Structure 1
Amino acid sequence: MSLTAVREAPTQAKGKAYAALVKALGRGWLRDRSQVFFTLLLPLMFMVLLASVFGSSADSVSRVLTVGEVPVLDAADAGDFDVTAVGDLDEALALLREGEADAAVVQDGDAVTIYPSPTSSTSGSIATGKLSALVDQVNVEVLSAAAPGSPVLDAEVEEADGGALRPIQYLAPGILAWGIAIAGVFGAAGTIVDWKRDKLLRRLRLTPASVKTFLGAKVSVNLLVAIGQTAVFLAVAALVFGLELSPWTWFAVPLVMLGTLAFLAIGVVIGGIAQTSPGAAGLSNLVTMPMAFVSGAFWPLALSPTWVQWLSYLSPMRYLNEALQSVVVYGAPPTAVLPQLGFLAAFAAIVALISWRTFKFDEL
C-alpha cells in the first residue's frame, strides 16, 4: 500500500463515520415525536392561528407622517393625530414599512394623498378613515362658508409599496425565526443533558468516531432540520395564505443556517447549566419565549414599548426576523442584510467560545 493510501485511509474512515452518524442522528430526530412537535408543528400551528385571527389594536391617537406642508391637518383636533414631519416621501414610506407610523400624508394644493401603513392593516385603515373624514369635514366647512372660488380638497389613498401587507407577510418570517430558535435551543440543551447523564461523549473516545466527528454530525442534522423547517413554513405561507415570495427568498437558507448556529450556542450554554431534562426544557423556554415577544416575532416591533425595542437589540432573533422579512417579503438583496448577518455571526462565535471554554461534558 502506498504512503498516500495510508494517509487517505483515516480520512475515508472519518468520512464514513460522519455520514453514518448523520444518518443515525437524523433518524433519531424523526422518531422523537416531541422534537418534531416542538420544532415544526408548534411554530407552524402558531403561524396558522395568528395569521387567521391576527388583528392589531389601534390607539386613539393615529401616528401620521407629513411630507412638506399639509394645511388640512390644521383643522384636526389635538387628540386625533400624532404628527411627525419627515424630509421626503421615500423616508416616509420606509418608516411605514418599519411600523413607525400608521399613515403618511402629502398635500399638493387641493390634492391630499394618504399612504396607509403596509405593516398593520388595522391601524392603517383607522388612520386613513380619520384623515378622509378630516378632508370631508374641511370641505363641508368651506361649502358652508359659501366663499366664492374656495377650493375643495380631493383625498386619494395610495397603497404604500404596491399594497398593504397582510399579517402573514410579517408573521411568517417572525414565527419562522422563533421556530429556528426553538429547534436550536431546545435541541441542543436537551441533547447535552442526555449526553452528560449517559456519559456518551466519554464512551465515544473508545470508538472509531471522535467527539469532533460526533458533534459535527449533530450540528449537520440541526442545519438540515432548519432548512426543512424553512421550506415547510414558506410553502404553507405561500400555498395556504398567499404569501408572495420574492426572487431573493433562496437567501433565507443561509440566514436560517447562521441563525441555527447562534441558537445552538445558546442551547449548549443552557445544557451546561441544567442537570436534568425538565430543567433544560424550563431554561430553554425561559429564554425563547420572552425573546420572541421582545424580537417582534408576533407583531411589528415598532408597536412595542420603547424599552422593549431597546432590549431587542440584544436578541439574535430580532436580526434573524429582520433579515428574513427583508429578503423574503420586501425582496431586498443579500447586501441589504449584511448588518444582521454580522450580528448573528458575531453572536454565534462569542457564545460558542464561551460555551466551549466553560462546558463540561460529564455529568455534574
Structure 2
Amino acid sequence: MNALFALISARNTEFFRDKSALGWSLLFPIAIIIALVLVFDDDNPSLYQLGVYGVTEEITQLQTLKHIEIIHYDDLAQAQHKVARHLVDGLISGDTYWVNPDSAQGYILEQVILSKLPQLQTKPITGDAVRHVEWILPGIIGMNMMFSALYGVGYVVVRYRRTGVLKRLQVTPLGAWQFLASQLISRLGATVLSSILVFVVIAVLFDIQPQGNIALLVLNTVLGSAAMISIGLLVASRTRSDELCNGLLNILSWPMMFLSGIWFSLEGAKPWVRFMADCLPLTHMNDANRAVIIDGAGLLDISDHLLFLVAIICICLGIASRTFSWD
C-alpha cells in the first residue's frame, strides 16, 4: 500500500508542477462553456428564415413578427438559389416574393407574409431540397480529418520530444523543415485515403452523385487535410507536455467542430460568429466540398476557399519550422 500511495503522490506532484497542464485543465472547460453560451444561447429562436434583397420598404411591417429571421443578401441569384434548394424559406425583393412550392416551411411563411403584405406578387422557384446525407457528409468527413490531423501529428511529435527521439535526430543532417515535411506527407496520405474510402462507401450506399468535378473534391480534401496537419505541427513544434498539447489541440478543435458547419448551417448567424467561422480552415473545406457536391461548383467558384487553405499551410509550416525545438 505504501508503494501505491507513493506513486499516487508522485503523479499528483508531477501534475501540479506542470503549470501549463494545470492551467488548461481549469481554464479550458470554462472557456468552452462561455463560448457556447455566447454563440448558441438565444432567447428568441427563429422558426423561419426570410431572405431580403435590396431596399424593401415593406420589410418594416415584418420586423415585428416573432420567430422569423431576416437575412439580407447582396446577390439576387444567390438568394434565389438558397430558396430553390430549401436553404432559405422565402425571399422578398421590391414588390416580389419568391417561394419554393415544395417547401413546407416556405408554404407556411408565405401565408404569414401575404397576410401582412397582400400586394406582393408571388413567384415560384423550383428546385430539389438538399438531402440531409448530402449536406452532412462533407462535414463528418472533415471532422474525422480534423481529429486525425491534429491529434495524430501533435501527440506523435510531443512523444518524440519527450522520449528523446528528436534529440537523436538533431545530430543528423536532417533539418527541421524536412522532419516537419515528412510528418505532413505521411499523415496526409493516410488521412486523404481514409476520407476517400468513407466518401465512396457512403456515396454508394445512399446514391450520392456529386454535381461537380471529383478532382476538385480530392484537391480540396488534400489542401484541407494539409492545413489542419500544419496547425497540429505548429502546436507541437515547441510543446513538451502531453497535457498542454491536449489542451491546445482541444481549444483549436472544439470551435471548428461547432462553428465549421458540420452539424448545422450558419446561414443567418450573427456577424461575429460568421467571422469566427470564416477564420477556420475546416469551414472553408466544408463549404468548398458542399459547393462541388451539391451545386456543381467549379474551380473559380471555390478558389477563395482553396487560397485560404494554401495560406494556412504556408503560414503554419513556416512558423513551425522557424520555432521548432528538438529538445
Q: TM-score, normalised by structure 2?
A: 0.70
1:186 aligned residue: 151
Pick closer, same or farther for the CA change 1:98–1:350 going to 2, 3 Å.
farther
1:275 aligned residue: 240
Q: Distance in 2 between matches of 1:303 and 1:84?
A: 6
Q: Distance in 1 between matches of 2:229 and 2:221?
A: 12
1:219 aligned residue: 184
Cα offsets for 1:59-93 (capped at 9, x unmatched):
1454244699999x999794165667878852422
Cα offsets for 1:276-297 (capped at 9, x unmatched):
3343233212211112212222
Q: Distance in 1 between matches of 2:183 and 2:61?
A: 64
- 2:131 is the counterpart of 1:131: no
Pick closer, same or farther for the CA change 1:346–1:84 going to 2, 3 Å.
closer
Q: Distance in 1 between matches of 2:133 and 2:152?
A: 27
**8 Å Cα contact 1:319-1:344 kept in structure 2:** yes
1:50 aligned residue: none
1:90 aligned residue: 77
Q: Distance in 2 between matches of 1:299 and 1:338?
A: 23
Q: Distance in 1 between matches of 2:251 and 2:82?
A: 32
Pick closer, same or farther for the CA change 1:106–1:200 going to 2, 3 Å.
same
Q: Distance in 1 between matches of 2:148 and 2:47?
A: 39
Q: Which amino acid aligns with 2:79?
A: A
Name the SS for the 2:302 alignment partner.
Answer: helix
1:195 aligned residue: 160
2:65 aligned residue: 79
**8 Å Cα contact 2:176-2:321 kept in structure 1:** no
Cα offsets for 1:247-277 (capped at 9, x unmatched):
4122222212212222122112221343233
Bigger mean CA deviation after superposition, 229-238 or 349-358 = 229-238
Please state how far the C-alpha of 1:195 moved relative to its aligned partner: 0.9
Pick closer, same or farther for the CA change 1:113–1:203 going to 2, 3 Å.
closer
2:281 aligned residue: 316
Q: Which amino acid aligns with 1:176?
A: I
**8 Å Cα contact 1:65-1:101 kept in structure 2:** no
Where in structure 2 are the equivalents of 1:218-237 lying within 5 Å? Answer: 218-237=183-202
Name the SS for the 1:335 alignment partner.
Answer: coil
Please state how far the C-alpha of 1:241 moved relative to its aligned partner: 3.5
Q: Which amino acid aligns with 1:339?
A: D
2:291 aligned residue: 326
2:23 aligned residue: none
1:103 aligned residue: 90
- 2:80 is the counterpart of 1:115: no
Name the SS for the 1:79 alignment partner.
Answer: coil
Q: Which amino acid aligns with 1:115?
A: N
Pick closer, same or farther for the CA change 1:99–1:197 going to 2, 3 Å.
farther
Pick closer, same or farther for the CA change 1:358–1:287 going to 2, 3 Å.
same
- Structure with bigger gyration radius: 1
Q: TM-score, normalised by structure 1?
A: 0.63
In structure 2, the gaps of 5 or more residues are 1-43
Where in structure 2 are the equivalents of 1:1-364 lying within 5 Å? Answer: 59-60=46-47, 62-65=49-52, 78-79=64-65, 90-94=77-81, 96=83, 101-104=88-91, 114-115=99-100, 125-132=104-111, 158-159=125-126, 162-204=127-169, 215-362=180-327
2:21 aligned residue: none
Pick closer, same or farther for the CA change 1:240–1:106 going to 2, 3 Å.
farther
**8 Å Cα contact 1:267-1:284 kept in structure 2:** yes
Q: Distance in 2 between matches of 1:308 and 1:191?
A: 33
**8 Å Cα contact 1:270-1:283 kept in structure 2:** yes
Name the SS for the 2:100 alignment partner.
Answer: strand
Name the SS for the 1:104 alignment partner.
Answer: strand
Q: Which amino acid aligns with 2:91?
A: A
Q: Distance in 2 between matches of 1:262 and 1:207?
A: 28
- Matched residue pairs, number? 282
Q: Which amino acid aligns with 2:100?
A: Y
1:18 aligned residue: none
Name the SS for the 1:302 alignment partner.
Answer: coil
Q: Distance in 2 between matches of 1:86 and 1:259?
A: 28
Please state how far the C-alpha of 1:99 moved relative to its aligned partner: 8.9
Kindly report the root-mean-square deviation, in angstroms, between the aligned alpha carbons of the 2 structures: 4.0
Pick closer, same or farther for the CA change 1:77–1:351 going to 2, 3 Å.
closer
Q: Distance in 1 between matches of 2:176 and 2:73?
A: 57
Pick closer, same or farther for the CA change 1:181–1:345 going to 2, 3 Å.
same
Pick closer, same or farther for the CA change 1:276–1:103 going to 2, 3 Å.
same
Q: Distance in 2 between matches of 1:98 and 1:354?
A: 42
Cα offsets for 1:317-351 (capped at 9, x unmatched):
22111211122221111122111111111121111
